[in-house]
Amino acid sequence: MKKPLTLLGTLFALLAALPALAEEAATAAATAAPVLVANKGDNAWLLVSTALVILMSIPGLALFYGGLVRAKNMLSVLVQVFVTFALISVLWVAYGYSLAFTEGSAVVGTFDKLFLKGITVDSVAATFSKGVVVSELAYVIFQGAFAAITCGLIVGAFAERIRFSAVLLFMVVWFTLAYLPMAHMVWYWAGPDAYTDAAAGEAAALTAGFLFQKGALDFAGGTVVHINAAVAGLVGAALIGKRVGYGRESMAPHSLTFTMIGASLLWFGWFGFNAGSALEANGAAALAMLNTWLAAACATLSWMFAEWAFKGKPSLLGAASGAVSGLVAITPAAGFVGVMGSIVIGLAAGVICLWGVNGLKRLLGVDDSLDVFGVHGVGGILGAVLTAVFCDPALGGTGVYDYVANAVAPYDMSAQLVSQLWGVGTAVVWSGVVSLIAFKFADMVIGLRVPADEEREGLDITTHGESAYHA
């Protein structure tokens, strides 16, 4: 009888202990790190934004540039933008994402995610809110679309005279050595969830990109995209030289209709570019969209009225160029400034970029065919600097969020201006040096410029064997 009684006592003891065990298990589960699941709404917004950015490249940028060149070079520009987009898309998945968005040095990441190794449908990427994530695959393609359009922007600077093969070789080198490090330096960080306390925040900050550590703000690519691409274009235009007949023959745009359609598609797609950079379907995305819409409108008006005052007539080209200049200038500031900030940035961009494509262009003496530096370089620098001014909460901005304190930090405009200048200076120098190397390499291997007789005939026929138009 003793053995059954003993077993019975043990059973009762276990039953009595069950509530305590259950409580202990619940406590352990509560203290364990939660498994973060991508928010479906944020994912949907990011995927739509990605499609909008792709629309900006093809057909938006392609048509905008295509309309600005002479008829004999229309297809050459379309091909350069289209194929560059395809090339960079493949390189991004192969190694670009890995080098840009993995923890490595302060300048570049690692090869840990070559061909998206280890990224599954369940993998997540951080947003700008603690405990909120998106699908990493969605983040991969969103950032890849940024990389593709950045490289596409460059071709406008040396349109109508460069070898197609040289464009492709240059893009591979520049994308690898200029775009990827800049993207890593500005945008790579451990994410908000790493900032649990002061010590953890300091440790996380040390893993971020160089310019992120410097405190440079770039909401959607003022430095990474616009200044980066513009400097590359300027270097290329200077090295390749002026078009045959430049300054003596008419080189007016052959189809402002196409240019206007392209500008409209850029304006539309830019909502994905800027508002999508919030990574969440929230108030920050709405603010970025509002600022993007308003800055472009203000720049359209300021460029047109300034041109009207100086030249006597308002032009469609001026209005379209003004819109793009406003979109460029608001890009680094889109999620950081208030409505008045976007108005001032837009109005300033229209006037200053008008000077950039006229006065500054003459001062530089470079045949930047489609004014890539005058719009994207000048506009990007202007926007990056003014971000420091209008990010100030006292001027309607959002300020800079402190993820350790979980509150907006006290704002120091002077310190932020220094941080912004770090971003601008680094982008100019880094892209300038890499571009010089990349163009020289392409020149040695292939040769940069087509022969003069081919240039006069037009690249559509001589390079691609096609014509955009037939009688």
Domain span including residue 68: 40-243+250-464
**DSSP annotation of 156:** G
**Percentage of residues of the chain with pLDDT beyond 70:** 93
Q: pLDDT value at position 20?
A: 53
- Per-residue pLDDT tens for 121-154? 999 999 999 999 999 999 999 999 999 999 999 9
- Residue 200 exposed, middle or buried by CB count within 10 Å (0-12, 13-18, 19+): middle
Neighbours of 309 (CB within 10 A): 9
Q: How far apart are CA 100 and CA 138, in angstroms?
A: 15
- At 27, the pLDDT band (50, 70, 90 cuts) reads low
Residue 411, pLDDT > 80, answer yes
Q: How far apart are CA 39 and CA 41, in angstroms?
A: 6
| 18 occurs within a structural domain | no
Average pLDDT of 156-181? 98
CATH number at residue 68: 1.10.3430.10
- At 35, the pLDDT band (50, 70, 90 cuts) reads confident
Residue 199, pLDDT > 70, answer yes
Q: How far apart are CA 453 and CA 245, in angstroms?
A: 12
Residue 14, pLDDT > 50, answer no
Residue identified by tokens 């797609």 is 269
Residue 201, pLDDT > 70, answer yes
Assign 77 to helix, strand or coil: helix
Q: pLDDT value at position 15?
A: 46
| 113 occurs within a structural domain | yes
Amino acid (1-letter code) at residue 293:
W
Q: Of 244, 230, 231, 185, which is closest to residue 419 (Cα–Cα)?
A: 185
Residue 389, pLDDT > 50, answer yes
Please list, residue by residue across 234-267, b when 16 or more beta carbons sit within 10 angstroms of its beta carbon and e when fewer do.
bbbbbbbeebeeeeeeebebbbbebbbbbbebbb
| 17 occurs within a structural domain | no
- At 24, the pLDDT band (50, 70, 90 cuts) reads low
Average pLDDT of 236-265? 96
Segment among 303-307, 367-371, 467-471 with least mean pLDDT: 467-471
Q: pLDDT value at position 34?
A: 72
| 87 occurs within a structural domain | yes
Contact between 330 and 292 under an 8 Å Cβ cutoff? The reply is yes
Amino acid (1-letter code) at residue 320:
A
| 142 occurs within a structural domain | yes
Residue 28, pLDDT > 50, answer no
Segment among 34-43, 291-300, 442-451 with least mean pLDDT: 34-43
| 197 occurs within a structural domain | yes
Q: pLDDT value at position 108?
A: 98
Q: pLDDT value at position 177?
A: 98
Contact between 281 and 51 under an 8 Å Cβ cutoff? The reply is no
163-164-169 Cα angle (round to 5): 100
Q: How far apart are CA 191 and CA 133, in angstroms?
A: 10
Neighbours of 286 (CB within 10 A): 13
Q: pLDDT value at position 33?
A: 57
Tokens matching residue 441: 């390499």
What angle separates helix 180-187 from helix 136-154, to the nearest 10 degrees?
A: 130
Residue 381, pLDDT > 80, answer yes
Q: pLDDT value at position 23?
A: 58
Residue identified by tokens 């008829």 is 71
Provide the phi-psi class of 278: left if phi over 0, else alpha when psi is between -120 and 50, else beta.
alpha
**DSSP annotation of 407:** E
Q: What is the pLDDT of the chain when averaged over all its residues?
A: 94
| 60 occurs within a structural domain | yes
Residue identified by tokens 């908000």 is 192
Q: pLDDT value at position 439?
A: 98
Classify the C-alpha dihedral 235-241-246-252 as positive or negative. Answer: negative
More confident call, 377 vs 33: 377
Q: Report how far apart, in Å, the C-alpha atoms of 220 and of each of 16, 255, 370 are.
A: 59, 30, 23
CB neighbour list of residue 91: distance below 8 Å, 6 or more residues apart: 172, 175, 176
Contact between 194 and 276 under an 8 Å Cβ cutoff? The reply is no
- Per-residue pLDDT tens for 326-379? 999 999 999 999 999 999 999 999 999 999 999 999 999 999 999 999 999 999
| 9 occurs within a structural domain | no
Q: Of 267, 361, 329, which is closest to residue 63 (Cα–Cα)?
A: 267
Q: pLDDT value at position 461?
A: 97
Segment among 3-12, 63-72, 332-341, 389-398 with least mean pLDDT: 3-12
More confident call, 9 vs 196: 196
Average pLDDT of 279-290? 98
Torsion of CA 266, 300, 327, 138, to 10 degrees: -40
Contact between 85 and 58 under an 8 Å Cβ cutoff? The reply is yes
- At 205, the pLDDT band (50, 70, 90 cuts) reads very high
The domain total for the chain is 1
Tokens matching residue 100: 């840009």
Residue 29, pLDDT > 90, answer no
- Per-residue pLDDT tens for 93-114? 999 999 999 999 999 999 999 9
Neighbours of 313 (CB within 10 A): 7
